[in-house]
Amino acid sequence: MAAQPKTLEYEYPNYLQDPRGIWSWLTTIDHKRIAILYGVSALFFMMVGGLEAMLIRAQLMVPNNHLIGAAIYNELFTMHGTTMIFLVVMPLELGFFANFMIPLHIGARDVAFPRLNALSYWVFIAGAIFLHLGLVRSLAGMPDAGWFGYANLTERMYSPGINIDTWVLGLLILGVSTLLSGLNFFVTIVNMRAPGMTFMRMPMFMWAMLVTTILILLAFPALTVGLVFLFADRFLDTHFYRVSAGATPILWQHLFWIFGHPEVYIMALPAFGIISEVITPFSRKPLFGYPMMAYSLVLIAFLSYGVWGHHMFATGMGPIADSTFAITTMLIAIPTGIKIFSWIATVWGGRLRFTTAMLFTLGFIVEFTAGGLSGVMHASPPVDLQQTDSYIVVAHFHYVLFGGMMMGILAGFYYWWPKITGRMLNETIGKWQFWITLWAFNGTFFPMHFLGVLGMPRRIYTYAPNMGWDFWNYFESINAFILGFAFLLFFINLVWSTLHGEHSSADPWDGRTLEWSIPSPPPAFNFVTIPMVTARDAFWVRKYGSVGAHGVAPAISGGAAAAPVGAPAEVHEHIHMPAPSIYPLIFGLGLFMAALGCMIWIRLILIGGALILMSILGMVFEYPTFGQFNPEALAESTLGLDNRKLGMWAFLGSECVFFASLISTYMVYKDRNLGGFDAMILNIPLTSFSTFILLTSSLLMVLALAAVQRDDRKWGAIWLFGTAFFGMIFLGGQAYEFTDFVLQGLKIQTNLFGQTFYTLVGFHGIHVLIGVCWLLVLAFTTAAGKIGKDRSLAVEIGGLYWHFVDIVWVVIFTLIYLMRTVKHA
């Protein structure tokens, strides 16, 4: 590749320059800096997870090995899987690449909610640290039940230490982080695209991230509910997964895999998007079959919710369920196959440049296809029954996760590193890394197919000699160490290139998308003026015209046609960059302390809760634009809709899945009650009155909004106080009912009815309590004259939440109270 000119170092006005110092990184809300924080953190955990993997292979290298014991081995493979999925792959794809590239791809200056973006990072750090709290008590406290934590192995009687406690609480915290990111990116992509960037003009990476965010919002609540049940079993002595109480451990599998299989595509789709972006400039062709690629992403997301049962063929679901999940599993191969053929067609006939990024892209196509083909076998229940819990499964998911996602991530590093840092990664080291990785990866995981056929089960820490497993385990371990060496080269390349690498031009690859139109690294404000998009591959059209947009690129070296834009003379004074904030860090600290309090000291829960409340109020009133309409932003939004309102609708959609999971559990378990109290204990008259009060509060909320919108602050405050008061009456009725039940002997630990009833109704009560607090803040602020017609959006968004809470209660009241089962004699 021809030498690239050094990036021009412009001197922008002080208010548009990145601040310096550690404090600036702790308080930053710039999406690019947050992406770098995510990237550094994920790369650290990649080293941790890789070390765990090599220790696993060292233990299995020879028969009857005593390098590490069984308990430590269980902790290693549990933390390896948990770390690689939740602390490496997802943070790199969502936190690093998506965070950095989404605004640049769609022509925006930042994400929709910058402080929410910073909040997601600090919550991620809190969860990551919490998962590793066992290290404080040596390795004896690390999670040890497998990354999917099957019940009832995770119950207190089988795992009495802190191992599973840290796993449950850590994953709950990480789920909050992921949901915040998904919500933020969804609103950003949907509502902040540059003028002219329709859905069918978006880069394919944006399509992948849009579908991924929808999957996050609709899949993670199921995992949250499963973890809440497990938390209750371990800390409150309930029995959501205990067979002796009439429950079933299969409930955990359903909840986990309803999340777990969409999670596979939450990890896969960003890699698909990365590959789609990398393959086009190095083939010098537009992406083949763009519309079908986009539609196939949507179809994959839709089908991913109907295939979770193929993880459970061995649980005895029955022939109808097995057949249904087998068919849907086979169907999902169709949209995936469309992508494979589209990538091959893009390469076919192109003027290929075999850069390191392109090599990893081609490696992805080959290895992911191999993993997909081995996955087709698992779509057949009879075959799957033979292969379940064997090393064939280990081989399959590593071909999908490493051969797919990790190859895509590495391609993204070599492709976008110049844009992120302004320096090129070393191509020679990169190509050595690729070829060593290709050999070592296949040498490590392909023989696992043989071991599976030979009967080697997964999750065993040692084995007897002369079982036919000795050679292949030794061969795999040697290659695992070679694979570790390949990643050592990768880390050396990152560090060396950051310090001494060749400077990059704005467009070193002759790219097609908007991020290549601005300097490397990008300025704090991204774009001097929001670009106008007139066609797909917007920057390509700007460079070569509409004719070049649909043909093979001219043989131009390294972006000679691309000129960096954004010189100081072009910077307009109207560019406004949001100020840094310390409150996201405080929120993360508070959440960590509250979770820690569940394990060691209950007062920490109160301290953590106080920090969380302080940070929320701080973020609400930190900026003078609290609740204000922004006509300029509204005019620039793609849908003509305020980001905050769209964000609330997306959040409520995710909450629907959360309550649907709770309600479904109640509907299944209410008829499995082994005795004692049931729904006949419910106080229908009291709850009917409380329901009437709650529904009436929605009317008061409508009146409050109408008053504020006509700038009648007095009556706006009165109606808001009235809504909150009615909410408190409802909570008082619920508290009275709960107290009466406890006095009669119905506690949350009593039976399945008690635990499902208290959990479902209790979580709704928590939502009402949050709503009451929200309304009181709005009421006092309105009474103080801070909220009027110009800030009515704050009341409107609070009203959306309150109406949702009321609608959910109507469903709960109907299913639990009005449709209660008559007690049998």
Lowest-confidence region among 255-264, 636-645, 722-731, 783-792? 636-645
What digits encode the pLDDT tens for the residues 237-272?
A: 999 999 888 899 999 999 999 999 999 999 999 999
Position 257, amino acid: W
Binned at pLDDT 50, 70 and 90, residue 334 comes out as very high
Mean pLDDT of 102-125: 94
Whether the Cβ atoms of residue 730 and residue 764 lie closer than 8 Å to each other = no
What confidence score (pLDDT) does residue 553 get? 47
What confidence score (pLDDT) does residue 137 get? 64
Which has the closest alpha carbon to 420: 815, 30, 706? 30
Alpha-carbon distance 186 to 211, whole Å? 9
Q: Please name the residue that has the structure tokens 């690729």.
A: 434
Indicate the SS3 state at residue 390.
Answer: strand
Binned at pLDDT 50, 70 and 90, residue 562 comes out as very low
Alpha-carbon distance 597 to 591, whole Å? 10
Alpha-carbon distance 339 to 243, whole Å? 44
pLDDT greater than 70 at residue 147: yes
Q: Please name the residue that has the structure tokens 């990008």.
A: 522
What digits encode the pLDDT tens for the residues 171-199?
A: 999 999 999 999 999 999 999 999 999 99
Mean pLDDT of 380-395: 91
- Please list the residue range(s) of the chain that carry CATH number 1.20.120.80: 649-818
Binned at pLDDT 50, 70 and 90, residue 138 comes out as low
Cβ neighbors of 460 (< 8 A, separation 6 or more) are none
Instruction: For the beta carbon of residue 620, count every other beta carbon within 10 angstroms.
Output: 15
Whether the Cβ atoms of residue 654 and residue 175 lie closer than 8 Å to each other = no
Strand partners, 457: 390
Q: Please name the residue that has the structure tokens 């992509």.
A: 189
Mean pLDDT of 78-82: 94
Question: Which phi and psi (to 5°) does residue 504 adopt?
Answer: -105, 145
Binned at pLDDT 50, 70 and 90, residue 821 comes out as low
Strand partners, 758: none
Alpha-carbon distance 96 to 407, whole Å? 16
pLDDT greater than 80 at residue 626: no
What confidence score (pLDDT) does residue 577 get? 73
Alpha-carbon distance 119 to 787, whole Å? 26
How distant, in Å, are the alpha carbons of 75, 187, 395, 645, 705 from that of 56?
10, 41, 15, 48, 60
What digits encode the pLDDT tens for the residues 21-50?
A: 899 999 999 999 999 999 999 999 999 999
Buried b / exposed e along 642-651 (16+ C-beta atoms within 10 A)? bbbbbbbebb
Whether the Cβ atoms of residue 47 and residue 30 lie closer than 8 Å to each other = no
Cis ω before 152 (30° cut-off from 0): yes
Binned at pLDDT 50, 70 and 90, residue 3 comes out as very low
- Please list the residue range(s) of the chain that carry CATH number 1.20.210.10: 29-500
How distant, in Å, are the alpha carbons of 101, 202, 275, 359 from that of 280?
17, 14, 9, 13
What confidence score (pLDDT) does residue 557 get? 37
| Count of residues in the chain | 825
What single-letter DSSP state applies at residue 522? P
Percent with pLDDT over 90 in the chain? 73
Q: What is the third-level CATH fold of 29-500?
A: Cytochrome C Oxidase; Chain A (1.20.210)
Q: What predicted TM-score, i.e. pTM, was given to this entire model?
A: 0.93
Tokens of 398: 């590593």
What digits encode the pLDDT tens for the residues 314-326?
A: 988 889 999 999 9
Binned at pLDDT 50, 70 and 90, residue 544 comes out as confident
Tokens of 576: 């406004």
pLDDT greater than 80 at residue 567: no
What confidence score (pLDDT) does residue 293 get? 95
Mean pLDDT of 516-539: 90
Indicate the SS3 state at residue 459.
Answer: coil
Buried b / exposed e along 465-480 (16+ C-beta atoms within 10 A)? eeeebeebbbbbbebb
Winning range, highest mean pLDDT, from 637-641, 677-681, 797-801? 797-801
Alpha-carbon distance 240 to 252, whole Å? 9
Tokens of 557: 């070296």
pLDDT greater than 70 at residue 565: no
Tokens of 190: 């949907």
Position 510, amino acid: D
What digits encode the pLDDT tens for the residues 407-425?
A: 999 999 999 999 999 999 9
Tokens of 516: 């290549």
What confidence score (pLDDT) does residue 502 get? 92
Strand partners, 390: 457
How distant, in Å, are the alpha carbons of 658, 679, 821 from that of 671?
21, 10, 8
Binned at pLDDT 50, 70 and 90, residue 642 comes out as confident
Whether the Cβ atoms of residue 55 and residue 142 lie closer than 8 Å to each other = no
Whether the Cβ atoms of residue 391 and residue 442 lie closer than 8 Å to each other = no
Question: Which phi and psi (to 5°) does residue 320 adopt?
Answer: -70, -50
What confidence score (pLDDT) does residue 825 get? 35
Alpha-carbon distance 290 to 306, whole Å? 25
Alpha-carbon distance 92 to 270, whole Å? 10
Cis ω before 521 (30° cut-off from 0): yes
Which has the closest alpha carbon to 791: 655, 620, 590? 620
Binned at pLDDT 50, 70 and 90, residue 139 comes out as low
What confidence score (pLDDT) does residue 530 get? 87
Mean pLDDT of 209-237: 95
Binned at pLDDT 50, 70 and 90, residue 620 comes out as confident
What confidence score (pLDDT) does residue 549 get? 47
Question: Which phi and psi (to 5°) does residue 503 adopt?
Answer: -65, 145
What confidence score (pLDDT) does residue 631 get? 72
What confidence score (pLDDT) does residue 551 get? 53
What confidence score (pLDDT) does residue 140 get? 61
pLDDT greater than 90 at residue 220: yes
The CATH homologous superfamily to which domain 649-818 belongs is Cytochrome c oxidase, subunit III, four-helix bundle (1.20.120.80)
Strand partners, 423: 503
What confidence score (pLDDT) does residue 18 get? 61
What confidence score (pLDDT) does residue 627 get? 72
Tokens of 36: 């770098």
Alpha-carbon distance 378 to 365, whole Å? 20
Instruction: For the beta carbon of residue 353, count every other beta carbon within 10 angstroms.
Output: 15
**For the residues of 656-691, what is the DSSP string, one character each?**
HHHHHHHHHHHHHHTT---SS--GGG--HHHHHHHH
pLDDT greater than 50 at residue 687: yes
Mean pLDDT of 302-308: 90
How distant, in Å, are the alpha carbons of 322, 527, 774, 775 from that of 781?
56, 36, 11, 10
pLDDT greater than 70 at residue 11: no
